[in-house]
A and B are shown apart, each in its own frame.
Chain A
Amino acid sequence: EAGVTQFPSHSVIEKGQTVTLRCDPISGHDNLYWYRRVMGKEIKFLLHFVKESKQDESGMPNNRFLAERTGGTYSTLKVQPAELEDSGVYFCASSQMGQVIRDTEAFFGQGTRLTVV
């Protein structure tokens, strides 16, 4: 069974450009999460989808970030326009529906390393 897949694995863009990150969760997982690790800091929660609905987007840093999950399958995270401080590793995770995170396991992708120059 395929795990959580993220594309691209690396992205280098210039300040002011737009970048779109993609996450394909494990098939059948209705919960999808985005996290981010800025260099030298802890991994921080960005948002949580249940199917196509945003359950919690309290961690989104500002309105330059837009996450979507049309159809409740894969998700995209767009950064527009990108700033230098957006550099970091963006992780996606998925888990089964109907179970809170402590009762199940969140499976993480390998992350997308974003560098804004």
Chain B
Amino acid sequence: AQSVTQLDSHVSVSEGTPVLLRCNYSSSYSPSLFWYVQHPNKGLQLLLKYTSAATLVKGINGFEAEFKKSETSFHLTKPSAHMSDAAEYFCVVTSNFGNEKLTFGTGTRLTIIP
């Protein structure tokens, strides 16, 4: 069984300040973890993924996430928020044993204050 918990449903930050979106996971097996973003009227876009290689993963648009097994966390960060980062972000887990299902968190809506 696998699940993810996104700890904040909404996050607001000022433009130019750091972004932190929190995610904790639970998995019976060694997991692969992803962050997806959905901008209004767009499809879900892959930001980054962890698949058992380097624990610090860099993604597109300056985002990165760190896999911490001891804390079962995969938080998403960005040093400086941009207005274009306003969107909904999803933490996602899947098993490393051939299970093709992606298990999504409930999403975090990020608002950027000018």
Seen from chain A, the residues whose Cβ lies within 8 Å of a Cβ on chain B are 3-4, 31, 33, 35, 40-45, 48, 55-56, 59, 91, 93, 100-103, 105-111
Contacts and interface: CB of A to CB of B under 8 A. Distances in A.
Interface of B: 32, 36, 41-46, 49, 51, 90, 94, 96, 98, 100-107
Contact of A101 (B41, B94, B107): B94
Chain B contact surface mostly? loop
17 contacts: A35-B102, A42-B104, A43-B90, A43-B104, A45-B103, A91-B43, A93-B44, A100-B98, A100-B100, A101-B94, A101-B102, A102-B32, A102-B94, A103-B51, A108-B36, A108-B43, A108-B44
B102 A106 contact: yes
B100 A107 contact: no
A59 B99 CA distance: 13
A110 to B, nearest CB: 4
B96 A102 contact: yes
Contacts, number: 55
Given A45-B102, A102-B49, A106-B102, A4 B43 contact: yes
B32 A48 contact: no
Nearest to B33: A102
Contacts of A100: 98, 100
Contact of A48 (B42, B44, B46, B100): B100
B34 to A, nearest CB: 8
B100 A56 contact: yes
A93 to B, nearest CB: 8
A41 B32 CA distance: 22
A49 to B, nearest CB: 10
